[in-house]
A = this chain, B = another copy of it.
Amino acid sequence: MTEIDFIKKFLEDNIDYAREKFHDRASVTVTEKQDASDLLTEVDLTLQKRAVDQIRTAFPGDQIVAEEGEFSKLPTHPNARCWVMDPIDGTNNFVRGIFPVFAISLAFAIHGRTVSAGIALPGTGDIYLAEEGKGAYVNGTRLVVSQVQNVADARMDLDFGCISDRAAWLGRGRNLIAEGGQLRCHGSAVSALAQVASGDLDAFVHMSLNPWDYAGGQLLVEEAGGVASRLDGKTLKLFDGKSGVLITNGAIHKEILRIIRR
C-alpha cells in the first residue's frame, strides 16, 4: 500500500466516527492537559491509537510524531521516514462549538518534508488529499487557491493561539490586524489550511505552531498553487513552525511579509 492510499483509507474509515462523537459530544470524556484551554478527549486518543497501530503494521520502523502523549516529541532523525498526525485539531471547538470546525490531519514526510497528506473535516464530510507534484483534491475535485491580490481585500485566519502567543500578535502582528480586510480566527489551524487550499480563505498566520498543525495543510495549499514560509520569510520546514507560519494563496504572501516586518 502506498502512503497516500494508507492516508485516504484511514480518513475514510474514521471520519464518520469523529462526526458521530461530535454530535454526541455531551457524553465524550474530556480532560485538561496544562490548563482549561488545553483539552484532550477520548476521541483524540482513540484516533491516534488507531493510526499508530496501523502505521506500525503497514510501515514498520517509520517514526511517528503526533499531538498526544509520548508521540509529541520531535523526531530524533528529522530526515528519516516520518508520519505526522493531529488526531483532532480544534479540540476546543469539538467540545464546545456549535459549528463543527475541527479536523483530522495525517501526513507522511521524508527528509523533513511532507510528500503525502490528508485532512478530513468530519463536520462537512470532506476529505482533502495531496501528493507532492500531483496536485491537491477534495473528494476527487482539484483544488485551486483564491485569486485575491491585496491584504485589504483578503479574508485571513489570524490564529491567536494560546495566551503565550499574544505578545507576538500585539507586536509584529499588529499591523496585520490593523490592515487585513476580513479577520477570522477559527481555532483550528488544520481546518483553516483546508480553507486556504480551497480558496475560501486567502491566508493563515500563526506565531508559533507545532508540526502536526501544518504538516498536512502546507502540502495541500502548495499543491493548490499557494505558498508557505516562516514569518521571517525563510523556507518553512516541517519541524520549525516555532518560527511562525505564513501560508497563503501566493498573491498576497509578500505583502503580508512586508507588513509583518514593518
Residue numbers of A with Cβ under 8 A of B are 35-37, 92, 96-101, 121, 123-124, 126, 152-153, 155, 158, 160, 162-163, 166-167, 169-170, 174, 177-187, 191, 194-195, 198-201
Q: Give 16 A-B pairs besides A99-B100, A170-B177, A185-B185 with Cβ atoms closer than 8 angstroms.
A: A36-B153, A37-B153, A37-B155, A92-B155, A96-B155, A97-B200, A98-B126, A98-B194, A98-B200, A99-B99, A99-B123, A99-B124, A152-B163, A162-B182, A166-B177, A184-B186
Contacts A163-B152, A170-B174 given: A99-B101 contact, CB under 8 Å? yes
Most chain B CB within 10 A, of A155, A166, A182, A185, is at A182
Instruction: Out of B155, B158, B179, B186, name the residue touching A163 (CB < 8 Å).
Output: B179
Asked whether, in the complex, the Cβ of B182 is within 8 Å of the Cβ of A92, the reply is yes
Set of chain B residues within 8 Å of A180, measured between Cβ atoms: 163
Count this chain's copies in the assembly.
Answer: 2
Contacts A163-B152, A184-B187, A187-B184 given: A98-B195 contact, CB under 8 Å? yes
* Chain A, interface SS category: mixed
10 pairs of A and B residues whose beta carbons are closest in the complex: A36-B153, A160-B183, A185-B185, A166-B178, A37-B181, A96-B200, A98-B200, A37-B182, A184-B185, A98-B195
Q: How far is the CB of A177 from chain B (nearest CB, A)?
A: 6
Q: How far is A124 from B124 in the complex, measured between Cα atoms in Å?
A: 11
20 contacts between A and B (CB under 8 A): A36-B153, A36-B181, A37-B181, A96-B155, A96-B201, A98-B198, A98-B200, A99-B99, A99-B101, A99-B123, A99-B191, A160-B177, A162-B182, A163-B180, A163-B181, A166-B177, A169-B177, A170-B177, A183-B185, A184-B186
Set of chain B residues within 8 Å of A153, measured between Cβ atoms: 35-37
